[in-house]
């Protein structure tokens, strides 16, 4: 019997606001922390990106022509509320209102992400970002306002992009934390405050609408570097502390017993109150969203004794000799993708939604179509792994969103690390004409979507 993908399966792509919009000082937008980051030798600044603020209809047409029926974008907090905790900016809200209507006119389902690391500068400077509960309350008010504005037309929502990164050394960079000692207490407080902010918004959405919301992780499969028992233990602990600890809250309303025991034994103050637990008790998730790019490998022998499990990979990450890597050192591991889909569903029983997947490569345009067969192969292998999880392992999957259909600056601001199926003619320091030029993979993915994933050739 032929195994068919669900008829309402979502095919599309994801982006962040600062990597697409530009218009950094237009339409009443306030400053975010990204507006203070200068260009470097290998990165651009964030003032223009690919100028979707002025040109998004062209990019939506490219999506529609490819057959996409889902687009996950981010609302810029500082565009709709310049200070983050002050008056809302109607011109900024109108921009997203128009974007949503244009998407729906093209039969593309909008999916909103509320936060993708770009803290309003005022909140970072005044409160040190999510280290302060004031920012938690400000975020919940912002999220509630967006639900009130767009909940009638937007069915799918996530609060925080890659929320488990707030449990890693990345937390201080992405939470608007500008000053301090980066203590263990502060790490756990930031992570907890972000979860509390997620819960506040998710609970409001479920009370007010029939929309769907889920937590999102940056999920990498973690392998032990060897069969050394401590390597195996460290790999399991990384998954418990960074992933399952949050999944337990998203789905069951409580933190991991192992993590809470660790916090108690080590005297860590994570600012967790009984009132916070009452908020978690109301929490539920309609799906589990995640990004997947690569797997990682951990060697316990090069991790210093006493290191937090949250930081194991900073010291103990090793290259996996059995996998190919991209030029950026990221392993290519579609089987890890399948395993995450399957083991997570087995544990939590909630539909899965991979909303970022892709490979970054340096590319140049010489007047001829870019032959990005490596990108086709990457997506083909990962879509097949997803189908194996669905048909062989029984995992319900809502959709498959690649990262950035259209070239955008990478998370570090490097325009030369390209993920897109459409080339954008700009470099890090030369904006050129920013013309959109489909690559070979664009036509391939159009065929995949037209066949609803049946034709991956």
Q: What is the pLDDT of residue 1?
A: 59
Q: Mean pLDDT for each consecutive 10-residue tract of the chain (457 residues)?
A: 89 98 98 97 97 97 98 98 98 98 98 98 98 98 98 98 98 98 98 99 98 98 98 98 98 98 98 98 98 98 98 97 96 98 98 98 97 98 98 98 96 96 98 98 98 97
Q: Is 21 inside any structural domain?
A: yes
Find the catalytic residue in 58, 221, 356, 377: 356
Global pTM? 0.98
Q: Is 1 inside any structural domain?
A: no
Helices 133-150 and 184-208, packing angle to 10 deg: 30
φ, ψ at 401 (rounded to 5°): -115, 125
Q: How many domains does the chain have?
A: 1
Range of the domain at 325: 10-451
DSSP letter, residue 242: I
358 touches 402 (CB < 8 A): yes
Of 128, 234, 104, the C-alpha closest to 189 is 128
Strand order in the sheet with 317-318: 222-224, 296-298, 317-318
Q: Is 437 inside any structural domain?
A: yes
* 162 catalytic per annotation: yes
Q: Is 227 inside any structural domain?
A: yes
Q: Is 20 inside any structural domain?
A: yes
169 touches 135 (CB < 8 A): no
The domain that holds 356 is classified in CATH as 3.20.20.80
Run of H or E residues at 157: strand 156-160
Between CA 409 and CA 428 the distance in angstroms is 8
* 356 catalytic per annotation: yes
CA distances from 274 to 185, 255, 271, 280, 281 (A): 18, 13, 10, 10, 10
78 touches 29 (CB < 8 A): yes
Between CA 279 and CA 204 the distance in angstroms is 11
Find the catalytic residue in 41, 91, 162, 369: 162
Q: Is 457 inside any structural domain?
A: no
Run of H or E residues at 146: helix 133-150
DSSP letter, residue 413: S
Q: Is 337 inside any structural domain?
A: yes
Q: Is 4 inside any structural domain?
A: no
């Amino acid at each position: 019997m032929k195994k068919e993908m669900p008829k309402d399966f979502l095919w599309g792509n994801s982006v962040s606001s600062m990597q697409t919009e530009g218009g950094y000082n237009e339409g009443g937008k306030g400053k975010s922390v990204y507006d203070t980051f200068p260009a470097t030798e290998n990165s651009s600044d964030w003032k223009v990106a690919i100028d979707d603020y002025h040109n998004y209809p062209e990019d939506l047409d490219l999506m529609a022509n490819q057959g996409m029926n889902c687009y996950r974008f981010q609302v810029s907090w500082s565009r709709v509320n310049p200070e983050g905790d002050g008056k809302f900016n109607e011109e900024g809200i109108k921009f997203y209102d128009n974007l949503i209507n244009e998407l729906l006119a093209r039969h593309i389902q909008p999916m909103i992400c509320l936060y993708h690391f770009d803290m309003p500068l005022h909140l970072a400077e005044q409160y040190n970002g999510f280290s302060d509960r004031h920012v938690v309350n400000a975020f919940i008010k912002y999220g509630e306002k967006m639900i009130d504005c767009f909940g009638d037309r937007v069915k799918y929502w996530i609060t925080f992009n890659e929320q488990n990164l707030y449990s890693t050394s990345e937390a201080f960079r992405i939470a608007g934390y500008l000053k301090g000692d980066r203590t263990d207490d502060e790490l756990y407080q930031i992570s907890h405050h972000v979860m509390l902010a997620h819960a506040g918004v998710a609970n409001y959405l479920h009370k007010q609408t029939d929309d769907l919301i889920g937590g999102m992780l940056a999920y990498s499969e973690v392998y032990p570097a060897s069969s050394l028992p401590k390597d195996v233990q460290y790999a399991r602990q990384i998954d418990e502390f960074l992933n399952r600890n949050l999944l337990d809250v998203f789905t069951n309303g409580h933190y991991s017993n192992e993590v809470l025991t660790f916090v108690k034994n080590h005297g860590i103050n994570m600012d967790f109150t009984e009132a916070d637990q009452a908020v978690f008790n109301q929490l539920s998730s309609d799906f589990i969203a995640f990004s997947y790019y690569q797997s990682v490998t951990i060697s316990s022998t090069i991790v210093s004794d006493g290191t937090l499990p949250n930081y194991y990979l900073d010291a103990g990450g090793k290259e996996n000799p059995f996998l190919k890597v991209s030029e950026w050192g990221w392993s290519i591991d579609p089987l890890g993708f399948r395993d995450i889909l399957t083991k997570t569903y087995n544990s939590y029983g909630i539909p899965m939604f991979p909303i970022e997947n892709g490979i970054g490569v340096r590319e140049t345009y010489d007047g001829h179509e870019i032959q990005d067969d490596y990108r086709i192969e990457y997506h083909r292998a990962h879509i097949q792994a997803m189908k194996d999880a669905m048909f062989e392992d029984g995992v319900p999957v809502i959709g498959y969103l690649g990262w950035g259909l259209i070239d955008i600056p990478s998370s570090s601001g490097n325009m030369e690390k390209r993920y897109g199926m459409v080339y954008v003619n700009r470099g890090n320091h030369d904006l050129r004409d920013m013309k959109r030029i489909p690559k070979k993979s664009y036509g391939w993915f159009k065929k995949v979507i037209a066949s609803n994933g049946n034709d991956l050739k």
